[in-house]
Amino acid sequence: MKRMTILVTILIMSLSLASCGTTGSQPDVSPGETGTETEQPPNEEASEQEKVTVYYVNEQATDLVGEERDLEYETPEQKYEEVMLLLQDPREDGHYSLWEAFQYHTITLQANTLVIDASGENTYTFGGGIEAMAFDAFTRTFFQFPEVEQIQFTVDGEIVEAMMGHIDTREPFVREESR
C-alpha cells in the first residue's frame, strides 16, 4: 500500500509539473539572434551515434532502472541536449522520469564540468528521498561520458543552495571513480 501511495504521488507530481509549462532545451535567443557569430548549415554526414544508458525510477519508486538508448548528435553541445531529452522520456513500461517537466536555459561543458542552468520557473514537489533519486539518475546518466568529471546546477545563472529544496547544489557533483 505504501508503494502504491508513492507511485500515485510521483504520477501526480509529474502531471502537475507537465501542466506547468513546456520543457525548454534551447537557450533564450531573441528573434534574429543566433547565439553564434557565423551560422553554418548543418553537415548531415558529420553526425555521431552512440549508445547511452539513461536512468529512470522504477514503478515502486524504490530504485533506478536503466534503459539503453541510441544517441545521435552533430555537435558536442547537442550531445548533452539530446541526452537531456532522453532523460525526460522513458520508453519502457514501469519506468518514470523524475526530470520530465524540467526546464532549463542551457546545458554546456566547460572545462570538464557540465553546467546546467535551470529555469527559475521549475516547480519541485519531491521529498528528500525522491529528490536524491532524481539527482542520482541525472549524474549516473551524464557521468557515462568520460569528458564529464563534474556537474554543476545553476538557476537562472546563479548558484543556489538547494535547487529542489533538499540536496545541496552549491558545489558541483563530482564523478566517483567506482561508478
Predicted local confidence at residue 2, as pLDDT: 45
Q: Can you say whether the dihedral through the CA atoms of 170, 175, 177, 178 is positive or negative?
A: positive
Residue 54 falls within a domain, yes or no? yes
Would you say residue 70 has pLDDT above 70?
yes
Q: pTM for this one? A: 0.72
Looking at the domain assignment, is residue 30 inside a domain? no
Domain that holds residue 90: 2-24+49-174
The tens digit of pLDDT for each residue in 75-132 reads 988 999 999 999 999 999 999 999 998 999 999 999 999 999 999 888 777 778 888 9
On whether residue 32 sits in a domain, the answer given is no
Give percent of the chain above pLDDT 70: 73
Per-residue pLDDT of 22-43, as tens digits, reads 444 443 444 444 444 445 555 5
Residue 67 falls within a domain, yes or no?
yes
Compute CA distances 170 → 12, 48, 160, whole Å.
Answer: 29, 33, 6
* Domain tally, the chain: 1
- Say if 38 falls within a structural domain: no
Residue 104, domain member (yes or no): yes
Q: Is residue 133 part of a domain?
A: yes
Cell numbers placing 103: 526546464
Radius of gyration of the chain (CA): 17
Q: Is residue 43 part of a domain?
A: no
What's the number of CA atoms in the CB half-sphere (13 Å) around residue 157? 2
Q: What confidence category does residue 164 fall into, taking pLDDT thresholds of 50, 70 and 90?
A: confident
Output 141 or 77, whichever has higher pLDDT: 141
